[in-house]
């Protein structure tokens, strides 16, 4: 596919609106393109959080929790980083606030699958809880809630996934995506929902004068909220930006969970200079590796650890799992890219799929989501990767493109073809499903057709959005520092990236997969260090680029041996306009 650059519009108004804010001129331009209009829009203090009382059912959730303060509360989470941070937050908070017995249970994805299933409830019942609290799951668990009722267990569901038609009969459900909700941030991650519930609990404890002496406030758990929110790739709307910014502030000040500090250390990140990307690419993959390959229990225990040695040992185990995950992913990704290469190459045999389904008998259930994400980035269309789940079933994980709501795509398929999908759930950009192995070919055709209908309403998929060109003077360490400090950046509030024409003076491969370049800005005499990570793995037959190219890049501060230098992080190497090739 021939990619083309499309530049973001600055939107209504002009940069003079933020002129008095003292912002770097490039950063002002970036903010305008993301809908920021006044300095108040940049206020990320806790005072800017949406009021807790505006999230429906949080008061009822707090009442239910306090009714079980003397009982046994069992938190059941999900096996990803959002679920792990949500679980750790609730366990830490309720324990610190004087609840008699608080424990957690996280389903092993290979034994129980996702959510509050009847099987996990029966296991939970052996611990004799009086209340089950789900975090980051439960909204699609009608059968599991019914099973809990047969054991006389109350259920509080806290979730952020989209509800289906069969609602669980829980005592209380807190979910900003419930039909009819007026809460102004449907983008809360599971950990954000859990945080709001814990704030309501703390307020009720204070009102009833039940708060233990020197009990921590909810804000002390914002490091967990920041990590889970960034890791789950939810849109960073104004509310989520506050949560992430405040959590990052605590981590930088050294006031974070011992486990987070240990994970940052093993990832080679300095807590005092951390940004959202460090959580996304340093901490989250290590935490997620436990749920993908083993059991998320080790990840949750790391987040719950209070002593440095225990946290370091658990972080080291998570790092080992992440190395193993990377090796498995690299093999699966190579196989997947080989299978879909015709989608990227022109010719009479080129496949014309709008939505891509991939399956290999040897693929790992816990890694198919990462493979789907990588392939989606290459072919620029929605992808579902499947792995075997026993002899009769497949489990798939899908990733999508802006404008194509993959969970709604699956819902439409389910409505058109009842019994085709055993179960499904997810978000706009990511979803999971279970399918009978014998129905894969039929599903793949139906998925392609449904995605094609969505794609007809979207913009072209060959477009790469950038924030335009930078002058040679703007490509500077000062600009990189300003952009780094201007976050948090993430989904729906993307990290600034730029495009421009450069001349490659030298290029070489490092680490087998990465392209290291020395670039010259035309007619300026200025040269820049640049690297394109994982560039080689995307190529069927790679040749080193040379001459003039169009680059899509980001500015980065590279720290080496105590010295800070500007580096260009290159996302795309494209032919320069008017040139047949650019590498």
Residue 79 is assigned to a structural domain of this protein: yes
Report which of 9, 16, 5 is spatially closest to residue 33, judged by C-alpha positions: 9
Residue 336 is assigned to a structural domain of this protein: no
Distance of alpha carbon 502 from alpha carbon 522, whole angstroms = 6
CB 134 within 8 A of CB 172: no
Distance of alpha carbon 417 from alpha carbon 400, whole angstroms = 21
Residues 447 and 504 in one domain: no
Distance of alpha carbon 299 from alpha carbon 283, whole angstroms = 11
CATH code where residue 540 lies = 2.40.50.460
Residue 435 is assigned to a structural domain of this protein: yes
Distance of alpha carbon 226 from alpha carbon 231, whole angstroms = 8
Sign of CA dihedral 93, 96, 102, 107: positive
CB 223 within 8 A of CB 249: no
Confidence (pLDDT) at 37: 79
Residue 8 is assigned to a structural domain of this protein: no
Last residue of a domain, one of 282, 299, 321: 321
Residues 414 and 482 in one domain: no
Residue 86 is assigned to a structural domain of this protein: yes
Residues 372 and 306 in one domain: no
Cis peptide before 97 (omega within 30 of 0): no
CB count, 10 Å around CB of 208? Answer: 10
- Per residue, what are the HEC states of 464-502? EEECCCCCCCCCCHHHHHHHHHCCCCECCECCCCEEEEE
Residues 438 and 525 in one domain: no
222-231 and 284-293 are packed helices; what angle lies between their axes, rounded to 10 degrees?
A: 70
CATH code where residue 418 lies = 3.10.310.30
Backbone angles phi, psi at 237, to 5 degrees: -75, 180
Burial of 523 (0-12, 13-18, 19+ CB in 10 A): exposed
End-to-end alpha carbon distance in the chain: 14
Residues 470 and 420 in one domain: no
Residue 256 is assigned to a structural domain of this protein: yes
Parts of the chain with a pLDDT under 50 = 12-14, 345-350, 580-583
- Per residue, what are the HEC states of 349-386? CCCCCCCEEEECCCCCCCCHHHHHHHHHHHHCCCEEEE
Residues 451 and 480 in one domain: no
What kind and span of H or E run contains 181? Answer: none
Residues 382 and 531 in one domain: no
CATH code where residue 294 lies = 3.90.1640.30
Mean pLDDT (the chain) is 91
Residues 117 and 170 in one domain: yes
Sign of CA dihedral 221, 222, 223, 227: positive
Residues 439 and 470 in one domain: no
Sign of CA dihedral 425, 430, 435, 440: positive
Distance of alpha carbon 307 from alpha carbon 492, whole angstroms = 37
Residues 252 and 362 in one domain: no
DSSP letters, 116-180, are: S-HHHHHHHHTT--SEEEEES--TT-HHHHHHHHHTT-EEEEE--SPP-SS----SEEE-TTSTT
Q: Give the number of domains in the chain.
A: 3
Sign of CA dihedral 235, 238, 243, 247: positive
- β-sheet with 172-174: strand ranges across: 101-105, 72-76, 131-135, 154-158, 172-174
Residues 113 and 210 in one domain: yes
pTM of the shown model: 0.91
Distance of alpha carbon 347 from alpha carbon 337, whole angstroms = 17
E-state strands within 41-85: 72-76
Residue 39 is assigned to a structural domain of this protein: no
58-67 and 190-207 are packed helices; what angle lies between their axes, rounded to 10 degrees?
A: 60
Residues 277 and 153 in one domain: yes
Look up the domain containing 139 and give its range: 52-321
pLDDT tens across 126-161, in order? 999 999 999 999 999 999 999 999 999 999 999 999
- Secondary structure (3-state) at 65: helix
Residue 7 is assigned to a structural domain of this protein: no
Confidence (pLDDT) at 17: 55
Last residue of a domain, one of 431, 455, 479: 455
129: which 2 tokens? 């809880």
Distance of alpha carbon 72 from alpha carbon 152, whole angstroms = 13
CB 231 within 8 A of CB 287: yes
Last residue of a domain, one of 406, 436, 455: 455
Angle at CA 267, nearest 5°, toward 253 and 529?
A: 95
Backbone angles phi, psi at 22, to 5 degrees: 80, 10
């Amino acid at each position: 596919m021939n990619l083309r650059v499309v530049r973001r519009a600055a939107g209504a108004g002009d940069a003079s609106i933020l002129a008095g804010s003292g912002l770097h001129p490039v950063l002002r331009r970036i903010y305008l393109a993301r809908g920021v209009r006044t300095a108040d829009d940049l206020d990320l203090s806790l005072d800017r959080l949406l009021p807790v009382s505006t999230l429906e059912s949080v008061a009822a959730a707090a009442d239910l929790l306090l009714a079980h303060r003397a009982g046994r509360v069992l938190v059941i989470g999900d096996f990803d980083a959002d679920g792990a941070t949500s679980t750790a937050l609730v366990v830490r908070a309720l324990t610190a606030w004087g609840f008699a017995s608080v424990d957690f249970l996280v389903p092993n994805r290979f034994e129980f699958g996702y959510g509050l299933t009847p099987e996990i409830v029966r296991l939970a019942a052996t611990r004799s809880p009086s209340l089950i609290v789900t975090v980051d799951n439960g909204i699609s668990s009608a059968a599991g809630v019914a099973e809990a009722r047969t054991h006389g267990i109350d259920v509080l569901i806290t979730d952020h996934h989209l509800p289906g038609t069969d609602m669980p009969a829980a005592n209380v459900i807190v979910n900003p995506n419930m039909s009819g909700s007026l809460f102004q941030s449907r983008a809360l991650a599971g950990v954000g929902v859990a945080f709001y519930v814990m704030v309501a609990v703390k307020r009720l404890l204070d009102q009833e004068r039940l708060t233990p002496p020197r009990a921590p406030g909810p804000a002390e758990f914002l490091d967990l909220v920041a990590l889970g929110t960034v890791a789950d790739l939810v849109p960073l709307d104004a509310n989520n930006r506050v949560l992430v910014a405040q959590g990052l502030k605590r981590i930088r000040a050294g006031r974070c969970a011992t486990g987070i500090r240990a994970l940052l250390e093993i990832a080679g990140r300095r807590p005092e200079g951390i940004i959202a990307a460090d959580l996304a690419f340093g901490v989250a993959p290590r935490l997620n590796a436990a749920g993908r390959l083993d059991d998320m229990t080790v990840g949750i225990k790391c987040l719950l650890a209070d002593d440095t040695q225990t946290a370091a040992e658990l972080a080291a185990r998570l790092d080992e799992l992440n190395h193993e995950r990377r090796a498995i992913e690299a093999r699966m990704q190579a196989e997947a890219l080989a299978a879909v290469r015709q989608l990227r190459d022109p010719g009479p045999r080129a496949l014309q799929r709008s939505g891509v389904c991939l399956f290999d008998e040897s693929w790992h259930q816990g890694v198919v989501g990462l493979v789907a994400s990588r392939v989606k980035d290459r072919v620029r269309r929605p992808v579902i990767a499947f792995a075997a789940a026993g002899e009769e079933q497949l489990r798939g994980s899908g990733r999508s493109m802006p404008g194509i709501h993959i969970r709604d795509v699956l819902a439409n398929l389910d409505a058109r073809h009842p019994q085709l999908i055993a179960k499904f759930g997810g978000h706009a950009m990511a979803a999971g499903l279970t399918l009978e192995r014998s129905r894969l070919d039929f599903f793949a055709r139906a998925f392609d057709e449904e995605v094609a209908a969505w794609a007809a309403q979207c913009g072209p998929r060959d477009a790469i959005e950038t924030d335009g060109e930078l002058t040679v003077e703007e490509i500077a360490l000062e600009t990189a520092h300003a952009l780094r400090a201007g976050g948090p950046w993430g989904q729906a509030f993307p990290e600034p990236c730029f495009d421009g024409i450069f001349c490659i003076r030298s290029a070489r491969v490092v680490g087998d997969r990465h392209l290291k370049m020395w670039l010259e800005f035309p007619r300026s005499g200025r040269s820049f260090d640049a690297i394109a990570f994982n560039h080689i793995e995307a190529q069927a037959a790679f040749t080193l680029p040379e001459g003039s190219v169009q680059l899509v890049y980001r500015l980065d501060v590279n720290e080496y041996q105590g010295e800070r230098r500007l580096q260009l992080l290159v996302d795309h190497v494209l032919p320069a306009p008017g040139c047949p090739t650019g590498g």
